[in-house]
Amino acid sequence: MLPALATGLLAAGMALVPAGAASAASTLGASAAEKGRYFGAAVGTYKFNDNTYMTVLNREFNSLVAENEMKWDATEPQRGVFNYSAGDRIVSHARSRGMSVRGHALLWHAQQPGWAQGLSGGDLRNAAINHVTQVATHFRGQIHSWDVVNEAFADGGSGGRRDSNLQRTGNDWIEAAFRAARAADPGAKLCYNDYNTDGINAKSTGIYNMVRDFRSRGVPIDCVGFQSHLGTSIPGDYQANLQRFADLGVDVQITELDVTQGGNQANIYGTVTRACLAVSRCTGITVWGVRDCDSWRGGDNALLFDCAGNKKAAYTAVLDALNGGTNPSPNPTGNRLRNEASGRCLDVNGASSANGAQMIIWDCHSAANQQFTQNGRALQVMGKCLDVPNNAAAGTRVQIWDCSGGVNQQWVMNSNATISNAQTGLCLDVNGASTANGTAVIVWSCHGGTNQRWARA
């Protein structure tokens, strides 16, 4: 046993996080490009004379989208009178730096010019389709992906369309818009874009059914945008939802990502990034602004850079995920093991050091019952070893016990950030994927979900 243990010590290198992929680009755009994807930001031309803003923008991103400058009210302020100056400025900045451009958005119920808000019926339909044709023609050949239609589905449980002046022109307004966009710019990918579609729910399923119908009838749609304006949690089926759309034969893109700052911000950013990387048809991610104080979400501090342009923990989580790392923690050298789904730490219940004391998740703190030392494949805490009984079945609670060197006390740090028991191959798992303080930690068959992923913190 001794040679094996010695080898284990060397192999472990005292790191809880495995080496992971070798490549490690140092900016979001370059790292995403290595993965065949883009990483973009929404921009406003009114910030283009802000040096800090431009430094971060030009260094980090390889795709841009106009936060407002290509919307209907901006591009056609009077009927038939088009103004492309601000949109052109964004395109030309992107082109001069080799960045791609997302077009946003041809038709939407919001930010319509006053004259269009006052139209209805056939008159509005004609004006809308003309708008699509004119704008897509102007930018022809310069747009990677167009949000042809934005936010046309209702929130809540109906799974149906949102009421709007456009919807009242007839249910076929969306397909008419896609056909007009294809005719005007055959080289652009044509996307449907919406929010509150972050998991499998009534709204995302309504959109899914529309996309499936469009594909079956030959309506030209190439991609679906998931805005991903997120709060303090993310649905567990975020990736599965992207995948089901991809399986319809369309690309998927994360189009307006921002996440409320709080204990879970970095983890959520990392989770979204990993989800996109795991779905081969997820072609890129766009964050909705550069720094926290550029964000439309005011006090949420929802972006990757602070107002001075410093990288936040959320930035590191995204870059690590893009680089194939597994550690979204702002402190990758800590001795705690933080669960990704909950943001809480592996903890010996009651700070007990007794044999059989059970493991739970709890708010991360600095006391000894969350401090782990790696010794070969053993994980020591409170002077004991992380343990499950011999040949423990799925569902068994994880505990501490006198260190025995037994294989039931050996844990393998897997490259997907799961931790499996060397004897049974079962993974450390937060029971029921609960995120509550005090939830039991058990062993369960490995599925790689966020309730089974752990990072040093």
Question: Which position among 151, 175, 256, 340 bears the catalytic label?
Answer: 256
For residue 63, the SS3 value is strand
Q: Which is nearer to ligand XIL, 307 or 422 (CB)?
A: 307
The minimum distance between CB 295 and ligand XIL, in angstroms, equals 8
Catalytic site includes residue 60: no
Q: Which is nearer to ligand XIL, 83 or 373 (CB)?
A: 83
- Alpha-carbon distance of 10 to 455, in angstroms, equals 20
Please provide residue 45's backbone torsions phi and psi, each rounded to the nearest 5 degrees. Answer: -65, -20
Which candidate, 332, 407, 416, 353, places its Cα nearest to that of 376?
407
The minimum distance between CB 352 and ligand XIL, in angstroms, equals 49
Q: Which is nearer to ligand XIL, 150 or 264 (CB)?
A: 150
Region of 396 please: left (phi>0), alpha (psi -120 to 50) or beta.
Answer: beta
The minimum distance between CB 44 and ligand XIL, in angstroms, equals 7
Closest residue to bound ligand XIL by CB: 296
77: Cβ contacts below 8 Å, ≥ 6 apart: 83, 113
What's CA 426's distance to the chain center, in Å?
27
Q: Which is nearer to ligand XIL, 190 or 385 (CB)?
A: 190
Query: In terms of C-beta density within 10 A (0-12 exposed, 13-18 middle, 19 or more buried), how is residue 217 classed?
Result: exposed
Please provide residue 255's backbone torsions phi and psi, each rounded to the nearest 5 degrees. Answer: -105, -20
The minimum distance between CB 426 and ligand XIL, in angstroms, equals 42
| DSSP one-letter code for 171 | T
244: its two tokens: 């089901």
Chain residues binding ligand XIL by CB under 6 A are 67-68, 150, 227, 256, 296
The minimum distance between CB 151 and ligand XIL, in angstroms, equals 6
Query: In terms of C-beta density within 10 A (0-12 exposed, 13-18 middle, 19 or more buried), how is residue 228 classed?
Result: buried
292: its two tokens: 């926290």
Q: Which is nearer to ligand XIL, 48 or 296 (CB)?
A: 296
Q: Which is nearer to ligand XIL, 46 or 373 (CB)?
A: 46
238: its two tokens: 């975020």
Amino acid at 17: V
The minimum distance between CB 163 and ligand XIL, in angstroms, equals 18
Q: Which is nearer to ligand XIL, 289 or 343 (CB)?
A: 289
- Alpha-carbon distance of 62 to 41, in angstroms, equals 8
The minimum distance between CB 74 and ligand XIL, in angstroms, equals 11
**Could you tell me if 215 and 181 are in contact, meaning their C-beta atoms sit under 8 angstroms apart?**
no
Calculate ∠ Cα 28-38-317, nearest 5°: 35
Query: Catalytic site residues?
Result: 256
